[in-house]
Amino acid sequence: MSGAVIEIIQAKGKNADGEDEAPVVVGRAVYEHPFVVRLCHWLNTVSLFVMVGSGLQIFRAFPSFGAKIPQKDLLHWPRAFAIGGWLGGALQWHLTFMWIYIATGLLYLGYQFFSGNYRQVLFTHRDIPGVWPMVKHYFFFGPKPPVREAYNPLQKQAYTTAIGLGVLSVLTGLAVWKPVQFSWLAWMMGGFHYARIWHFAVMWAILFFVLGHLVMVILHGWGDFVSMVTGWKKDPEY
């Protein structure tokens, strides 16, 4: 579980009298991301890349959502930015990585629940008052609120929303993939055609989250990226 702290100590050598000087603490590091969390993060990164690319290739085969939405040329997505080459190839890529995506999600949720690590990222009612101050800081150049834990309230809200979007992407995907076997699921979404719309909308919502996530990583510095590789974050603000 995350939370372990180590101090980074620098030896001072000997003084003028030849005696050893006391070492000095020059920094500290916190074990912020356990191995399972990091593994799931990078597996999801690859899975999402492949599934979005192949999903857009599948969409290219019929770029429409039914009679009430333009039947032709709803979106001209370039073939160069899609994966699979054609409909059959895209389906193979998409369905293969679907299982990796689902397995990774189950592993992540199971680990977070049974280890108690979910408290680090779960957005609760206690975080609501802290959202607007972070919005003002990020988007309106307001003062930065004090940092008390690994994730601020706005980050918790974003990550909790992302988990919800991940669940929705699987449910809508199942309804589109097997609309007969999962007819009850398709019915809950308004039918097969609406399930396609929901699946497409959830994909774009996830992409907007990824974009915001990358911007935050850039703003917060190189240390955040390194911590998702090694698990350790040097000199955290909290």
Q: Which of 26-35, 57-66, 113-122 holds the top average pLDDT?
A: 113-122
- Report all structural domains of the chain as residue ranges with CATH numbers, in order of start: 35-221 (1.20.950.20)
Average pLDDT, the chain: 87
C-alpha to C-alpha distances, 139 to 133, 134, 227, 236, nearest whole angstrom: 10, 8, 25, 22
pLDDT at 76: 80
pLDDT at 99: 97
| Identity at 218, one-letter amino acid code | I
Q: Measured between alpha carbons, how far is 107 from 101 in angstroms, rounded to an integer?
A: 10
Q: Which residue has the tokens 């809508």?
A: 172
pLDDT digits (tens, 9 = 90+) for 160-219: 999 999 999 999 999 999 999 999 999 999 999 899 999 999 999 999 999 999 988 888
pLDDT at 73: 67
Question: Confidence band (pLDDT; 50, 70, 90) for 12?
Answer: low
Q: What tokens were used for 72? A: 């032709």
Q: How many other CB atoms are found less than 10 A from the CB of residue 203?
A: 20
pLDDT at 207: 96
C-alpha to C-alpha distances, 82 to 27, 55, 85, 102, 202, nearest whole angstrom: 45, 8, 7, 21, 18
Q: What tokens were used for 9? A: 């100590």
Q: Measured between alpha carbons, how far is 131 from 153 in angstroms, rounded to an integer?
A: 5
Q: What tokens were used for 164? A: 């919800």
Residues 182, 188 contacting (CB under 8 angstroms): no
Residues 202, 173 contacting (CB under 8 angstroms): no
pLDDT at 3: 61
First to last CA, the chain: 17
